[in-house]
A and B are shown apart, each in its own frame.
Chain A
Amino acid sequence: NAGVTQTPKFRILKIGQSMTLQCTQDMNHNYMYWYRQDPGMGLKLIYYSVGAGITDKGEVPNGYNVSRSTTEDFPLRLELAAPSQTSVYFCASSLVGLAKNIQYFGAGTRLSVL
């Protein structure tokens, strides 16, 4: 079972470069999320999506963009990379509902902006 798959696992960017972090899930979950985790910290929500074609901002959306053209895919775009975006990025997906809101996480993408 693949679950949530993120690519790439590691990436180094120069300031001002752009890149797309890929996320795909094969569990037919409606809800998908992007988080960032800074060293030794919890997760902060960047963007989320409640279904194909619907996205919304989380706590820290500045500098990022997302799209959700299919149920399976939820890519995260960095247009002008900045050192403050150095972090580990996690994608997650979940079903709807109080008791069923179990988030399944990918293994993460470690990004360094130099």
Chain B
Amino acid sequence: TQLLEQSPQFLSIQEGENLTVYCNSSSVFSSLQWYRQEPGEGPVLLVTVVTGGEVKKLKRLTFQFGDARKDSSLHITAAQPGDTGLYLCAGMRGLSGGYQKVTFGTGTKLQVIP
């Protein structure tokens, strides 16, 4: 079973602070996705990273895929209360027939206090 460990599990910070969430595995993934989930809702995709070393920016969010494609990080600059939610990473591995097997991480619960 492939495991994706996220750290930290919980994070409570003040508005305006910076933070980084990590997603680590011993397995190689063909691509990795980050989702945000708000209470009572399903996860919503934020980004997909495909190439080892790739960096993608989405406003104040910066996503990086590790060179070996085993890990990823999400950095938020100047966090805002609207960033509050559960952040999930998901690693994808291609199987025969074109199906992409998805393994979700353990999640990081972020609370940004005004």
Chain A positions near chain B (C-beta within 8 angstroms): 4, 31, 33, 35, 40-45, 48, 50, 59, 90, 92, 96-99, 101-103, 105-108
User: Is the C-beta of B28 less than 8 angstroms from some C-beta in chain A?
Assistant: no
Check A108 against B107 for contact (C-beta < 8 Å): no
Residue of chain B at shortest CB distance from A105: B42
Check B50 against A99 for contact (C-beta < 8 Å): yes
User: Is the C-beta of B14 less than 8 angstroms from some C-beta in chain A?
Assistant: no
Contact of B104 among A43, A96, A102 (CB under 8 A): A43
Check A98 against B107 for contact (C-beta < 8 Å): no
| Total count of chain B residues near the partner, CB < 8 A | 28
Q: Which of the segments B52-60, B61-69, B70-78, B91-99 contacts the partner chain? A: B91-99
**Residues in A neighbouring B1, C-beta threshold 8 A:** 59
Name which of A31, A101, A105, A108 has the most chain B CB atoms within 10 A of its CB.
A101
Check B100 against A101 for contact (C-beta < 8 Å): yes
Check A102 against B45 for contact (C-beta < 8 Å): yes
Contact of B94 among A31, A43, A45, A98 (CB under 8 A): A98
**Residues in A neighbouring B6, C-beta threshold 8 A:** 42
